[in-house]
Amino acid sequence: MITLSYKGKNTFLEAVNKKSGSDVLECYQCGKCVSTCPVSNFMDFPPREIMQMIKLELKEEAQMANSTWFCLTCSACSGRCPREINIPAVMEAVRHMAIEENFHPDSKRVKNIRKFHEIFLDMIKRYGRNYELRMMAEFNIRTRNLFKDMHLAPTALLKGKIPLGVKPLKSKKAIKKMYEMAEKLEKQNK
C-alpha cells in the first residue's frame, strides 16, 4: 500500500517515532498485529489503523481513540510484526502525548482504566507499595460502583486471599521525592 505521508520536522509522525524508537513508516499494513492482538475487538481502531493514522497525521483521531488505553503491552503483535515495529511502544507514545496534551477519550471504560492506574500510583506514593484491598475499595468509590466485585469479597477475605493491611516502606520520603523529580523530568522531556 502506498502511503503519502508528511515526512518532515515537527510532525506527529516524527514525534511518535522519536518517543517510541520505532519507524511507523515501515508499516505496510499487513494487519498481522490486528489478528494477533487479544483486545483489538474492544478498540475503536485496531493497531493497524492507528499506524495508518499516524502516517496520515490524524493526530487528534489517534489520541481520542480508546485503542492506546486498551493496549495490554503483551507484545504479541511486535513479536510477529514482519517490519519489526515496536507497536506497544508506539501505542504508549501516542497515549503519553495524549496525556501531556490533555486529550481525554470520552468513554467510560477509558475513564475507569485511567482512574485505576491513577489510584495504583497514588497507593505507591502513599505507602511505597501497593495496598491491594484499599486500592480496590478506592476504585469502587471513585467510579461510583460500590458493589463491584462484592460477591468475591466473602471468599477472598475469609480465605485470606487478599490481606487487610500493607507493610509500608521505611523510606517513604524517598518515594515522595522520586514522584516530584519524575514530574520535573516529564516536563523537561516535552
Contact call for residues 141 and 149 (beta carbons, < 8 A)? no
- Pick from 6, 18, 121, 157 the residue near other proteins by CB under 8 A: 121
Q: Residues 19-58: x/- map of binding to other proteins (CB under 8 A)?
A: -------------------xx--x----------------
The size of the chain, in residues, is 190
Q: Which is nearer to other proteins, 4 or 151 (CB)?
A: 151
**What phi and psi values does residue 29 have, to the nearest 5 degrees?**
60, 40
Minimal distance, residue 61 CB to other proteins, in Å: 20
Stretch that binds other proteins, among 1-9, 22-30, 44-52, 177-185 (CB under 8 A): 177-185
* Residue 101 binding other proteins, by CB under 8 A: no
Longest alpha-carbon distance in the chain = 60
Residue type, 85: I
Stretch that binds other proteins, among 5-13, 25-33, 43-51, 128-136 (CB under 8 A): 128-136
Secondary structure (3-state) at 30:
coil
CA distance 15 to 96: 11
Buried b (16+ CB within 10 A) or exposed e, 54-75: bbbebbeebbbbbbbbbbeeee
Residue whose cell numbers read 511507523: 24
Q: List contacts with other proteins (CB under 8 A).
A: 38-39, 42, 69-70, 72-76, 78-79, 86, 92, 95-96, 99, 109, 112-118, 120-121, 123-124, 128-130, 132, 135-136, 139, 148-149, 152, 155-156, 159-163, 166-167, 169-171, 174-175, 177-179, 181-183, 185-186, 189
